[in-house]
Amino acid sequence: MTTRFRQHSSHWGAFRARTTPGGGLEIEPFEGDPDPSALLRNIPSALSHPARLSRPLVRKGWLEDGPGPDARRGSDGYVTLDWDTALDLGARELQRLGASPALPVGPPLPGARVFGGSYGWASAGRFHHAQSQLHRFLNTAFGGYVASVDTYSTAAGSVILSMVWGDAMKLNRDHPYLDELAEQTELLIAFGGLPLRNTAVSGGGNSQHSARQALERAAERGAGFVSISPIADDMAALPGLVHLAPRPGTDVALMLGMAHRLHETGRADRAYLDRYTTGYDRFLPYLTGAADGIPKTPDWAAGICGVPAPDIAALADRAAASRTLVNVTYSLQRAENGEQPVWMALTLAAMLGQGAAPGAGFCYGLGSIGNVGKVRLDVPLPTLPQGRNGVGDFIPCARIAELLLHPGKSYSYKGERRRYADIRLVYWAGGNPFHHHQDLTRLAQAFARPDTIIVHDSVGTATARHADIVFPATITAEREDIGAGGNDPFLVAMEPLAPVQGEARDDYAIFAALADRIGCAPAFTEGLDTEGWLRRLYAPTQAALLARGSPAPDYDDFRQGMILPLPLNHADGAIRRFHADPDAHPLRTPSGRIEIFSARVAEAGLPGHPAWLPPAEWLGAPLASQHPFQLVANQPAGRLHSQLDFGAASRESKNDGREVARLNPDDAARLGVKAGDVIRIWNGRGAVLAAALPSAGIRAGVVQLATGAWYAPVHLPGVGKTCVNGNPNAVTSDRGASVLSQGCAGQLALVSVERFGGPIPDTVPHEEILPRGRPENGAA
C-alpha cells in the first residue's frame, strides 16, 4: 500500500491520489483544471464497497438446466465458482454458439446471433476500454457480432444532423465554441439551458473544465443569456439571465413562433439562406400557414408552449439585433420526435444569417458534455484496434429490447428497411442497460429471451442481476493505462492506485483466458501483455508529436506519472471553411449545404422540413387527463449516469438513500406533499418512489427525477412492482424517437404523482441488488 501520490484520470477529470493509513484514498484534482468536478469525491468509495464483485458468479437455473430462454433471470439465485471452472463454462458455451479459431468464410458468421453490448463509459483508459476489448474479442472469436450505432444521449439529434448538416460530432469537435462564446457572442439562446453538471464529464477524460469560465467571461463583457427550459437551474445564475419555461417537449413550437416573427418583420437573412442553405422556400409555406392554413405565429406558439407571445416575439427581435449563438442540448432530442427541435434550431440560426460570424450561428450539444466546444487536438489519441466486424448487422442502440423481444421484425432506420436478428448470446462489458434503457420491466422481459447472457462488471448492478455468468472486473483505480479524451488537451499516464479487490481481473485478462480456451488467443492478444499493448498504443501519438516538433517523451519516461500536454489545432474547422467558400468546402449533405428541406428525410416518412409534431406524451396530449404530470428524467448532478451511485457526492444528493424528485411548490401543496415526503410516480408502465422536494425552479405540472439510481423493483402491497430506489426508467417509454432515428425517447413521460400513503419501504442497498451465492461444491 503506497503513501505517495499517483497520477490517474477519469471521465470527470484528471487527479492524483494516495492511500491513507486507514486504507482510504486521498484525492487531489489536477492542478491545471480551473474548475475541478465534485464527482471526484465519488472515487474513494469504489475501492472496497460491499457492492464490489470479487469472484465469478453463475446463475443457478442456467447452471442446473443449461442455456435457453429463462424468465427466472432477475430473480434467480447464484453460485460462486473459481475462475478456471467459470472460464471453462463460459468458453464451452461460446464454442456451442460458434466461437472458433477457424471461422467459416463468408456469411453467415456465428456472430450474427451474438449481440455485443457495451456503452463505452467503463474506463477513461484507452487500453482498458471495455467496449473496445469486447468488440475485439467478438470479432476474433465469432468473426463479428450484431453491433449498435448512435447513443442514448444523442441518437435523434445526430441522425437528423447527419442528413441535413453533416457529421454533428465532428463539426462540434472542430469548432472552438467556448472560446468564441467567451470573447464574441452577444446573445446566447440556450434551448435546454446550459447545465454545468453535464460539462463535468466527457468520455476518456475531461482534465480542463472550462465551460463555467467561458460563461463568466462572456458575462463580464456584457453578453446576454436566455435559458429555455422547464427547470431554472439548467443554467447558472448569470447577470441578466432571462429564463423562459415552456411546457416540456414544445421547444419546436417556440422556435417556429420566433421564425415567423423573423419572416414577418423582414429579418430573415435571405442572402445567407440562398448561399448556404437549400429548401427554405419549401419550408416557408408551412411557416406562414400557406400549406396547412395555420400560420406559426408567436400567438400560435404561445398556445402550445405556454410562453407568452410577446416574449417569443421579443426574443426573435433581440436575436436578430445581436451576434447570436443558438445552442440546443442533447436533452431536447431525447424525446419522441426528438429530431425536430435540433433541425428547427439549425433552421432558426440559418434565418438569423450569422453562421459566418465568430461566436454566432448554431451549436449542438454545448452544455451536454464537457469537451464539446473546446479547441480540437492536433495529434491522434491512442486507440485499441478492434479488428473487423464481418457480420455487418446493427441496431440503433436504444432498440435492444425490441431486438431481443422481436427477432425478425421489420423496422426503419434512416429510411432503410431492416430486420432484427435472432440473438442467442448477449455479451455485455462496460455498461449498464438497466440504467440507460427505458421501461425496465419490458427490458427485463427482453433479457429473458436469449440462451445466455454474460456480463463483466465490477459491482453487482441490475444488469449483472439478469446475467447467467458474471465475471468480476477490475476498476480503473486498480489498473495501469493511458487516459485520453477527444478535445482534452492532456495525455495521462494512469497509475494503479490500490491493490485489486478480491479475485477481480482486467477485462483483457478475462478475454485472453477465454480466447486461449477457444483457440484464438494468438489473434486476440497478438502475443502482447498489457504493457506491450500500452507501448504500442502510445507509439502513434508519440510519432505525431515528434513530427510536429512537440515534446515527445519515450514511453518509459511518460510512464513516470506524467500528464503530457497535447498540441491544439487552431486552424479553421469545417464550419469556418464552409462559410468561407461553400463550393470549395461543402458540408457532408446531399446538396453540400444546410438542408432546411431534405428529400431523404421525407422519403423516410417524416415531413421534409422541421415541423411541430405533437408527441403522445406531453401536457397537451389526451393522455395528460389520465397522467397530468410531465416527468423530466434528466442527468444527475452527483454522478455520471449510474456509476459510483454509492459515492459521497451521489449520496449527498439523495434523501435517506432515496433519489429526490423536485416539483413545483403549488403542485406540492395541492397534493399535500412537503419536503422529504415519499411520493409515488407512476403510469401504465410501472412505478417509482422518490423523496419529494418542492422547488420554485420547476415549472408547474412538471416533476424532475434524475436518472442513475440503481434499479430495485419491489412488490408493494396494493401497489405492485415499484422501484423503491428512485430509478425513473421504471416509468419512461421504450418507444423510438421516430422512424428516422429510432433514438432514445426517455427524457419525457407523462405520469401521475401522489403522496405515498402506505408503510414506507426501505431502499435496497447497492450490495443487495445482486445476491451472492454460496460456493459450488468443488469450487476453490
Question: What residues act catalytically?
Answer: 119, 121
Return the C-alpha cell found at 731: 416509468
Return left, alpha or beta for 76; rule: phi > 0 is left, psi -120 to 50 is alpha, else beta.
beta
- Are the beta carbons of 729 and 747 closer than 8 angstroms? no
Give the residue among 182, 171, 191, 155 at the shortest CA–CA distance from 327: 191
- Are the beta carbons of 281 and 348 closer than 8 angstroms? no
> What's the rounded Cα separation, in Å, for the pair 26 and 41?
9
- Are the beta carbons of 343 and 245 closer than 8 angstroms? no
> What's the rounded Cα separation, in Å, for the pair 728 and 705?
6
Please list, in sequence order, all residues whose beta carbon lies within 8 angstroms of the beta carbon of residue 602, skipping any fewer than 6 positions away.
608
Mapped onto helix, strand or coil, the DSSP state of residue 231 is strand
User: For the chain, how big is the Rg over CA atoms in Å?
Assistant: 26
Give the residue among 303, 297, 310 at the shortest CA–CA distance from 264: 297
Give the residue among 104, 139, 116, 556 at the shortest CA–CA distance from 385: 139
- With residue 304 as reference, give the H or E element that holds it: helix 298-305
CA atoms within 13 A on the CB side of 244: 25
> What's the rounded Cα separation, in Å, for the pair 573 and 487?
13
DSSP annotation of 710 reads P
> What's the rounded Cα separation, in Å, for the pair 373 and 173?
7
Q: Are strands 277-278 and 324-328 parallel, antiparallel or unpaired?
A: unpaired
Residue-wise DSSP of 605-651: TS-SS------SSSTTSGGGGTS-EEEE----SSSBTTBTTTSHHHH
Give the residue among 255, 247, 250, 287 at the shortest CA–CA distance from 189: 255
Distance between alpha carbon 136 and the CA centroid of its chain, in Å? 22
Main-chain phi, psi angles of 546, to 5 degrees: -60, -40
Please list, in sequence order, all residues whose beta carbon lies within 8 angstroms of the beta carbon of residue 391, skipping any fewer than 6 positions away.
107, 109, 111, 112, 142, 143, 144, 145, 146, 147
Triad 533, 539, 541: Cα angle to 5°: 120
> What's the rounded Cα separation, in Å, for the pair 22 and 251?
52
What is the four-CA torsion angle of 619, 620, 626, 629, rounded to 10 degrees?
A: 10
Residue-wise DSSP of 74-136: TT--EEE--HHHHHHHHHHHHHHTT--SSPPSSSPPGGGGEEEE--S-S-SBSSS-HHHHHHH
Residue-wise DSSP of 437-470: SS-HHHHHHHHTSSSEEEEEESB--HHHHT-SEE
Task: Give, in order, the Cα–Cα distances in Å from 306 to each of 214, 337, 620.
Answer: 31, 19, 10
**Which residue is associated with the grid cell 488537451?**
489
Triad 248, 250, 255: Cα angle to 5°: 135
For the chain, first and last CA: distance in Å?
Answer: 27
